[in-house]
């Protein structure tokens, strides 16, 4: 497995995040609701606990996630100290509109003009940080804070007169704690994958869907006798249905993998979560036993 991520960035990112944490009151951590643990970085928790900052944990992209799994994750995170979970999608203005209210409730000692609530959005790439930030900024009263920026990287944007948003989201790299994390992140497109890996990711996703969402595979691709399929058969089946063949006549596995992953990422396949608190615990236990 050679999914690429860049540990070299880690130290610089951690240093920056630690500095930023000192000057804020609340962390909004955005994760992907379909893979909340695989798409978190434990550094957020480590740093915010050290500074005793509360966290609004946004389980974003619920439009793509399985509602049952999402609700289990919300319970899971709400049971954690200092954490409030908020399942939402940036696609719904009504969901975005609630973010500030929830944020204020988490730091009730702030949110007055002399002590504005200072918020930083954090998360790994592609979970929706910029989209959320832009959506929040559309609602703001003033365009840019009147205080001079401390540094170019840390401008302050007023969301309203009592609430400041640090202008750059704290970008962190995923921490791949389990081998399946890399596969989940690649399936959701949080990390890139080359053609070879894409085939592996497609087979992984197919196996997961066979286990948890076989009906959705049948609905999309019209497979018959899916009980006899394994992950490879699913991808080959897509190649067969779509007529994806190589010059010699063999199935074009690469093209079928790409199509399948595209269908997953766009939500055409349905609302599919890649982990639940139970499946995560199971995988962690199995990994530790190895
Ligand atoms: P960032 O790297 O964390 O800043 O992520 P972006 O804000 O650039 O979003 C990454 C991708 O996810 C973009 O294609 C967004 O349109 C998409 N996205 C963001 N929020 C949602 C959501 O709630 N639902 C869906 N389906 N897509 C979303």
> Is the pLDDT at 134 greater than 60, yes or no?
yes
In order of 31, 44, 45, the CA distances from 81 in angstroms are: 18, 14, 10
Please name the residues in contact with 283: beta carbons below 8 A apart, sequence gap of 6 or more.
178, 180, 275
Tell which residue, 119, 106, 117, has the closest CA to residue 21.
119
Higher pLDDT, 128 or 171: 128
Q: What's the confidence (pLDDT) of residue 9?
A: 53
Nearest protein Cα to ligand 1, atom 27: 61
Residues whose beta carbon lies within 6 Å of some atom of ligand 1 = 60-61, 63-64, 89-91, 123, 125-131
Please name the residues in contact with 83: beta carbons below 8 A apart, sequence gap of 6 or more.
54, 55, 57, 77
Tokens representing residue 213 in the block? 């969402």
Under 8 Å between Cβ of 39 and 31: yes
Higher pLDDT, 166 or 112: 166
Tokens representing residue 156 in the block? 């302050």
| Ligand 1 mean position, distance from CA 104 (Å) | 24
Tokens representing residue 144 in the block? 């840019």
Tell which residue, 175, 177, 179, 155, has the closest CA to residue 165.
155
Average pLDDT over the chain reads 87
The whole-angstrom separation of Cα 235 and Cα 268 is 16
The whole-angstrom separation of Cα 1 and Cα 19 is 34
Nearest protein Cα to ligand 1, atom 20: 128
> Is the pLDDT at 31 greater than 90, yes or no?
yes
114: exposed, middle or buried (Cβ count in 10 Å: 0-12, 13-18, 19+) = exposed
Nearest protein Cα to ligand 1, atom 17: 128
> Is the pLDDT at 143 greater than 80, yes or no?
no
The whole-angstrom separation of Cα 58 and Cα 284 is 23
Query: Rounded mean pLDDT of 86-102?
Result: 96
pTM of the model: 0.90
129 among annotated binding-site residues: yes
Query: Rounded mean pLDDT of 43-72?
Result: 93
> Is the pLDDT at 171 greater than 50, yes or no?
yes
The model's confidence at residue 62, banded by pLDDT at 50, 70 and 90, is very high
Helix then strand then coil, % of the chain, to nearest 5: 50, 15, 35
Query: Rounded mean pLDDT of 127-156?
Result: 64
The residue whose two tokens read 């798409």 is: 39
Domains along the sequence of the chain with CATH = 7-171 (3.40.50.300), 194-289 (1.10.1580.10)
CA 37 to chain centre: 9
Q: What's the confidence (pLDDT) of residue 290?
A: 82
**184-223: per-residue pLDDT in tens?**
999 998 887 777 699 999 999 999 999 999 999 999 999 9
Tell which residue, 134, 176, 170, has the closest CA to residue 30.
170
| Ligand 1 mean position, distance from CA 39 (Å) | 13
Under 8 Å between Cβ of 161 and 111: no
Q: What's the confidence (pLDDT) of residue 13?
A: 66
Q: Mutate which of 125, 126, 165, 189 to test ligand 1's pocket (most atoms within 8 Å of Cβ)? A: 126
Query: Rounded mean pLDDT of 272-283?
Result: 97
The whole-angstrom separation of Cα 100 and Cα 24 is 15
């Amino acid at each position: 497995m050679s999914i690429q991520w860049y540990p070299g960035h880690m130290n610089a990112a951690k240093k920056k995040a630690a500095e930023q944490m000192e000057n804020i009151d609340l962390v909004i951590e955005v994760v992907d609701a379909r893979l909340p643990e695989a798409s978190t970085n434990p550094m957020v928790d480590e740093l915010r606990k050290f500074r005793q900052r509360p966290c609004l944990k946004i389980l974003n992209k619920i439009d793509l996630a399985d509602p049952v799994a999402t609700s289990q994750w919300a319970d899971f995170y709400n049971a954690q100290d200092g954490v409030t979970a908020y399942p939402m999608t940036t696609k719904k203005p009504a969901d975005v509109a609630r973010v500030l209210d929830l944020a204020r409730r988490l730091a009730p000692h702030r949110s007055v003009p002399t002590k504005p609530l200072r918020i930083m959005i954090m998360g790994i790439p592609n979970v929706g940080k910029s989209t959320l930030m832009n959506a929040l900024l559309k609602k703001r009263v003033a365009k840019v804070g009147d205080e001079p920026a401390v540094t170019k990287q840390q401008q302050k944007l007023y969301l309203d007169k009592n609430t400041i948003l640090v202008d750059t989201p704290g970008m962190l790299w995923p921490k791949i704690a389990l081998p399946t994390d890399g596969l989940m992140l690649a399936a959701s497109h949080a990390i890139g994958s080359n053609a070879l890996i894409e085939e592996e990711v497609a087979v992984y996703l197919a196996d997961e869907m066979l286990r948890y969402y076989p009906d959705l595979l049948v609905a999309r691709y019209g497979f018959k006798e899916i009980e006899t399929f394994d992950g490879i058969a699913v991808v080959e089946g897509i190649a067969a249905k779509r007529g994806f063949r190589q010059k010699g006549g063999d199935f074009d596995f690469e093209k079928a993998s790409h199509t399948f992953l595209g269908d997953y990422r766009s939500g055409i396949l349905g609302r599919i979560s890649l982990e639940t608190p139970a499946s995560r615990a199971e995988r962690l236990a199995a990994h530790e036993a190895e």
